A and B are shown apart, each in its own frame.
Chain A
Amino acid sequence: MPMSVEDVRNIIFRESSATKITITLLNTLKEIIDREGIKAGLNFTKEVLKVICRIRPSLVMFSNVFRLILQKAVSTNIKQELKEYMINEIEYYINALKKFNKVIAEIACRRIPRGSTIFTFSFSSTILETLRCAKMRGIELKVYISESRPGGEGRKLAEEIAKLGYEVTFFVDSAIRYFIKDVNLVLLGAEAIAANGAVIGKIGTSLITLIAKEARIPVYVLASTLKLSVETFEGALVPLGSGPTSLIYDEEKARKMGIKVYVPLVEASPPEHVDAIITERGVYPPQAVPILVREVFGWPLRVMSLDNLIREVEERYVHP
Chain B
Amino acid sequence: MFIPEQVKRIAEDIKSMRIRGAGRIARAAAKALKIASENFKGKSLEEYIQYMNHIANILRNTRPTAVSLPNALSYVLYRMNIAKQTNPTLDYVREKTEKAADEFIQYSLQAIKLIGEIGARRISNGDVILTHCNSSAALSVIIEAAKSGKDVKVYATETRPKFQGHITIETLAREGIDVTLIPDIAVRFLMKKVDKVIVGADTVTADGSVINKVGTSQIALAAYEARVRFFVATETYKFSPATVIGEEVLIEERSPLEIVTADFLTQYYLKIKVRNPAFDITPAKYVDAIITEKGIIPPQATILILKEYYGWAIKDYAMRKLGIDLEE
Contacts and interface: CB of A to CB of B under 8 A. Distances in A.
A binds B: yes
A203 B186 contact: yes
A258 B157 CA distance: 17
A258 to B, nearest CB: 6
A155 interface: yes
B307 interface: no
B272 A158 contact: yes
B276 interface: yes
A207 B158 contact: no
B217 interface: yes
A251 to B, nearest CB: 12
Given A210-B221, A248-B158, A175 B272 contact: no
Contacts of B173: 257-259
A172 B276 contact: yes
A206 B218 CA distance: 12
Interface stretch (B159-167, B310-318, B320-328): B159-167
A159 B184 contact: no
A203 to B, nearest CB: 5
A167 interface: yes
A149 interface: yes
A45 interface: no
B272 A168 contact: yes
A149 B158 CA distance: 10
Nearest to A203: B186
A146 B174 CA distance: 33
Contact of B179 (A169, A248, A260, A263): A260
B222 A171 contact: no
Contacts of A176: 218
B273 A169 contact: yes
Contact of B260 (A150, A170, A207, A262): A170
B184 A173 contact: yes
Contacts of A64: none
B184 A174 contact: yes
A162 interface: yes
Interface in A224-251: 248-249
Nearest to A178: B280
B218 A260 contact: no
A168 B183 contact: no
A148 interface: yes
Interface string B228-259: 00000000000000000000000100000001
Interface string B246-289: 00000100000001100010001001111111001000000000
A67 interface: no
B169 A259 contact: yes
Contacts of B160: 147, 149, 172-174
B170 interface: yes
A254 B182 CA distance: 13
B297 interface: no
B185 A248 contact: no
Contacts of A168: 268, 271-273
Contacts of A258: 173
Contacts of B179: 259-260
Contacts of A206: 188-189
Contact of B275 (A171, A177, A257, A259): A171
B75 to A, nearest CB: 31
Interface string A95-109: 000000000000000
A173 B185 contact: yes
B215 interface: yes
A264 interface: yes
Contact of B181 (A171, A214, A261, A267): A261
Given A207-B185, A260-B181, A174 B214 contact: yes
Interface string B143-184: 000000000000101111100001001100110001111111
B207 interface: no
A155 B185 CA distance: 15
A139 interface: no
27 contacts: A146-B185, A148-B185, A159-B272, A167-B271, A168-B272, A170-B274, A170-B275, A172-B184, A174-B157, A174-B160, A174-B185, A175-B214, A177-B218, A178-B217, A204-B186, A207-B187, A210-B225, A248-B181, A249-B181, A254-B181, A258-B173, A259-B173, A259-B180, A261-B180, A263-B183, A264-B182, A264-B183
Interface of B: 155, 157-161, 166, 169-170, 173-174, 178-190, 213-215, 217-218, 221-222, 225, 251, 259-260, 264, 268, 271-277, 280
Given A174-B280, A207-B188, A264-B189, 12 more contacts: A162-B271, A169-B273, A174-B218, A178-B217, A204-B185, A210-B221, A259-B169, A260-B178, A260-B180, A261-B181, A262-B155, A263-B182
> Which 4 interchain pairs have the tightest Cβ spacing?
A174-B215, A204-B185, A177-B218, A207-B188
